[in-house]
Structure 1
Amino acid sequence: MSFIQGFDPDTLREEVDPSACSERLAEIGEQRSLPALLERVWLLKVLGRPEDSLVLSEESVRVARMAGTRKDLLRARILHASVMQARGAFAAAEHEMTTCAEEAEGQGWAAIAAFAYQHRGKVHFDTEDYEAARKDFKRALFLRQESGATDDQLESTLLAIDAADRRRAAASVAS
């Protein structure tokens, strides 16, 4: 079940049903499996609890490093970087997402690389570097198409490209 109802066209943040997310968070409880940890991290992040999310995201990276696959570790690191972004640590988030994107591409894991580029694009978007954001979103779109992504994933990337284009155009008019 997807809790994402859409994306805010101005911030590119996920639009979710807070009560459904809170209910799911309660269902998961204190489960310690990696999938449960990752889901809890994301739910806390979208519910606007970045401090709680940060603690769990650090734990999820440790668990993935000890007991997961390399793909699991990359997913955990990307999610951790997105939590850092939510907390305003843009440079650290960008660095981590760059490292993850490069590793995923080097391994031929297009879907994970796309996930990293999409989120790095959001970091650039938040820092008002719309040209870099657009470049990352275009790379994510290519990789998502290559990996057979869902229509929802492709649509979210197209929305992000459009938002970066609109912001870039508005910035050039303002200057």
Structure 2
Amino acid sequence: MSYIHGYDSESLREIVRPSECRERLAELGDQRSLPALLERVWLLKVLGELDEAIAVSEQSVRTARMAGTRKDLLRARILHATVMQYRGSFAAAEQELTTCALEAEGAGWGSIAAFAYQHRGKVHYEAGDFDAARSDFKRALFARQNTSSPDSQLESTLLAIDAAERRRAELAAVAAS
């Protein structure tokens, strides 16, 4: 079941139903498997419970490092970076996402690289660097097209490109006036 019911066209953040997310958190309880930890991080993040989300994300990175694959560790690190982004730590999030994207590309994991670039684009977007955001979203789109990603991922990336272009044009119009 997807808990994402769309994306906000201004913030690019996921639109969720808090009641569904809280219900799922209750179902997960204190499970310590890596998939459960990662899901808890995401649910806590979208609910705005960022202190708990950062603690659980750090635990998920440690768990992935000890018992997961390299892909698991990259996914955990990317999710951790998104929590840092939500907390306003843009530089730290950007650095972590850059490292993850490069590692994923080097290993030939296009879908993970796309995931990292999409989120790095969101970091740039929230920081107000719409040129860098657009560039990252385009990289994510290219990678997603090359890995035959689901239409929903392609659509979210196209929405992000449009939003970055719109915000870039708005800034240009303000600067010109």
Structure 1 and Structure 2 fold alike (TM over 0.5) = yes
CA RMSD of aligned residues (A): 0.3
Task: Give the count of matched residue pairs.
Answer: 175
Matched to 2:85, the amino acid is: Q
1:124-163 mapped onto 2 (5 Å cutoff) = 124-163=124-163
CA distance in 2 between partners of 1:144 and 1:28 (Å): 30
Q: Which residue does 2:57 correspond to in 1?
A: 57
Aligned letter for 1:55?
A
Aligned to 1:10: 10
Distance in 2 (alpha carbons) for counterparts of 1:51 and 1:85: 13
Following TM superposition, the consecutive aligned residue runs of length 4 or more in structure 1 with deviations greater than 4 angstroms are none
In structure 2, C-alpha distance between the alignment counterparts of 1:110 and 1:95, rounded to whole Å: 19
Identity across matched positions, percent? 70
Q: Which amino acid aligns with 2:146?
A: E
Using structure 1 for the length normalisation, give the TM-score. 1.00
Aligned to 2:69: 69
Deviations 1:117-149 (A, max 9, x none): 000000000010000000000000000111111
Question: Structure 2: which amino acid aligns with 1:160?
Answer: A
Deviation sequence 1:93-139 (CA, Å, 0-9, x none): 00000000000000000000000000000000001000000000000
Report the secondary structure of 1:83's partner residue. Answer: helix
Deviations 1:31-86 (A, max 9, x none): 00000000000000000111110000000000000000000000000000000000
The alignment partner of 2:123 has SS state of helix
CA–CA separation in structure 1 for the residues paired with 2:139 and 2:36: 29
Structure 1: distance between partners of 2:83 and 2:127: 15
Within 5 Å, give how 1:6-155 maps onto structure 2. 6-155=6-155
CA–CA distance in structure 1, aligned partners of residues 146 and 132 of structure 2: 21
- State the Cα distance separating 1:13 from its structure 2 match: 0.3
**Counterpart-to-counterpart distance in 2, 1:142 and 1:154:** 9
Offset of residue 22 of structure 1? 0.4
- Helix, strand or coil for the counterpart of 2:5? strand
TM-score, normalising length: structure 2: 0.98
Q: What is the rounded CA distance, in whole Å, between the counterparts of 2:109 and 2:147 in structure 1?
A: 8
Q: 1:21: how far off?
A: 0.5
Secondary structure, counterpart of 2:55 in structure 1: helix
Q: Indicate the SS of the match to 2:65.
A: helix
Q: Unaligned 5+ residue runs, structure 2?
A: none
**Counterpart-to-counterpart distance in 2, 1:145 and 1:75:** 20
SS in 1 for 2:2: coil
